[in-house]
Amino acid sequence: MVSWLSSKIFTVVIVLVVLWFGIRALDLGTQKAALNREVSELETKIDTFKKDNEILQKFISFTHDADFLAREARRRLNFRSADEHVAFVYPSEEKPASASSDSSGKSFLAKIKTWLYDTFRK
């Protein structure tokens, strides 16, 4: 019985089995690390969803307030009450003169001089 324990074939088989177990242990370690990363990513997503849920719950609780609903209707839907007056401001039809075209060649001091002259000319 002792003779087959000391044979070279048995030694090679034992070495191969030990190597196989070692490789499997390393593979399990990398799988565990990947699972831990995935778990931490999912936990951060859960925290984000919880925060979003809290914000939405607050918004839902605000919808029970009539003042909030009126404010949101004015802001989002441009509603006005019957006693309010609305003024429309349209942009000017003439094109504004560009500041860079009339003073592009002037130095900084010349621009200041022109500005002071135009300001206090009244």
pLDDT in tens, 90-112: 887 776 655 555 545 678 888 88
Predicted TM-score (pTM) of the model is 0.43
Q: Does residue 120 belong to any structural domain of this protein?
A: no
Residue 70 pLDDT exceeds 70: yes
Output the pLDDT for position 122.
55
Q: Does residue 106 belong to any structural domain of this protein?
A: no
CA angle 90/95/101 to nearest 5° reads: 150
Q: Does residue 16 belong to any structural domain of this protein?
A: yes
Kindly report the length of the chain: 122
Q: Does residue 44 belong to any structural domain of this protein?
A: yes
Rank 45-49, 67-71, 80-84 by mean pLDDT and report only the highest. 45-49
Mean pLDDT calculated for residue range 73-99: 75
Mean pLDDT calculated for residue range 9-19: 89
Number of domains in the chain: 1
